[in-house]
Amino acid sequence: MGDIKDKFEVEDCGSEHLDERGGVDVEHITFKSPIGRVKLEFTTKPVVLDKKTVFSRRIGSGSGEEYVYSKDEKTNRMTAFKWDMNARDWIEIDADNFK
């Protein structure tokens, strides 16, 4: 993020921790670039080790899924968004367009 802060006008940046799904950390930065407003999100979350289906034999009761998360292993994902003036919303930039 240091290069972005040096080269572009940063509008917003920060991070948050979500306790759901084993604990997810999301860092984000929004800045003005030559293609318009861009938002980058870097997400770190634990690896899913196991998925169990939980159900009851009683009539009318629902079923669900229970996940087991790793305490040590993490996975990372970078997502880029571009501001769409017409939709007034962030549109995810498809990474396949950069090949």
Mean pLDDT over 28-41 rounds to 94
| Residue 3 backbone phi and psi in degrees, to 5 | -65, -40
Q: What is the DSSP letter of 18?
A: E
Structure confidence at residue 98 (pLDDT): 66
Q: How confident is the model at residue 37 (pLDDT cuts 50, 70, 90)?
A: very high
Mean pLDDT over each residue of the chain, to the nearest integer: 88
- The DSSP secondary structure of 28-89, one letter per residue, reads EEEEEETTEEEEEEEEEEEEEEEEEEE--SSTT---EEEEEEEEEEEEEEEEEEEEETTTTE
| Rounded Cα–Cα distance for residues 8 and 18 (Å) | 28
Q: How confident is the model at residue 5 (pLDDT cuts 50, 70, 90)?
A: confident
pTM of the entire predicted model: 0.74
More confident residue, 1 or 3: 3
